[in-house]
Structure 1
Amino acid sequence: MSRSRRLLAEGLGTAALLAIVVGSGIMGERLAQGNAAIALLANAAATGAGLYVLIALLAPISGAHFNPLVTCLVAACREISVTDMLGYVVVQIAGAIIGVLFAHAMFDLPLLQFSTHARTGSGQWLSEIVATAGLLATILIGSQTRPRSLPALIGAYIFAAYWFTASTSFANPAVTLARALTDTFAGIRPQDVPGFVLAQCAATILVVAAARSLRAHGPTAPAAGRNV
């Protein structure tokens, strides 16, 4: 598969993911009439289902990472080159921002806005470490034991992690950055982004170190079906 097609798939997939995350948050909040639990349930269900579709469709083209941390994990397993890794990260960030803008446009909201939703503190950061480590572990283990089920495994994990983590499981620096640009249900204040990203990166380092210490033979991550 040509690099241009892979980058296009990654950019479009990440844009679609953010449109789902932000759009379902807006719709859920509007229809829930103040019931935050119902809004979160709608947001989590739409995100999990959307991930399944996007990964199943785009994994054969780009690997369906949609996440700089997943791309770095794949690069650490020597499945893609450093050049490809950098290209993926750029289009993931750009796609994430475009997806947020599309969500705003669909709901007739101002395209450019900054979140005022506070998400900070040790509990939030620990939640992001747990959410990110769990996502990457799901990818590593699932790619070995249930590769055909990986889209469903990732979607199901993210659905669950929305509920069992205090941060609602961002687990993705591109998603975190883009969600700072929406003052809606899914938003995060720009000043809270660095703490989330540092926690996500710390989790990735831990998972990579653990995988390398446990791996007896070759890379554990396949070239397709990674996300979040």
Structure 2
Amino acid sequence: MKRKIILLITILLCLNCNRIDAPLYKAMEKFEDQIDPKELNTFINAKEERCFIALKRENKSLLMNEFYSNKQNSSLVEYFHSKGISHIGDMANIFIISLHRKLNSKDLNLEKQISDKMNYWKSIDDCKKFQQGMLKNNDKFIEGDTVQVRMRINSRDNCAYPIDCMEKDWKFDNHKDLLIKGVVLGKYTYDNIPKFVYMKMKIISLNKENVPVPRKLLKKGEEFSVVLNYDIIEPALRSVQK
């Protein structure tokens, strides 16, 4: 009796999932019917990461048309919006991967597909907030200030890099990383990337010699530019702090 109850609950849950995801399944069936059997077979046998490439151009256009041209009256687009997916590229990717898995009798794993997309865009938003905070902190420096810049040295190429937003908890190590001290010469931006602010400085000391940054070997007395949006810039200290 207990097993029957569990089975009944499972069936009801599955029916509810199918009802919720019905717009996706209906769209997949429609799209599947529109593909030539030979092309469909190629699509099925393609590796998952290359299955979109296996489709002919007209079928790719047919799919993207659903997201671009019919988005105001598309139950499929409404379905994705209800799941928190609004980027058209993400919709197309989830659709194609789901169709490929369905035709190969695999679990669609929709929840993970959707959460992966949402986590990606959350990381982008977090990066923007991180860069805005760094810019606000670093923009206080003016011409004539003496500053120090902390950079991470990559062990693979022995090159110094600013940290990115995914490394915001990184801790400087004076034995492993690069500390540049210099005098601020001014700030500037580029017209094509106005959101990023650059600061030029003249190097007065380095805690390590012969450590390059991308495309340049730093030397005392030379000019060097940093990006206020993500470089760690501080008032220069008399002694190096770990």
The structure in which a higher percent of residues are helix is 1
Report 1 or 2 for greater relative contact order, CA contacts < 8 Å, sequence distance ≥ 6. Answer: 1
Q: TM-score, normalised by structure 1?
A: 0.30
Q: TM-score, normalised by structure 2?
A: 0.29
The structure in which a higher percent of residues are strand is 2
Q: Please identify the structure whose Cα radius of gyration is greater.
A: 2
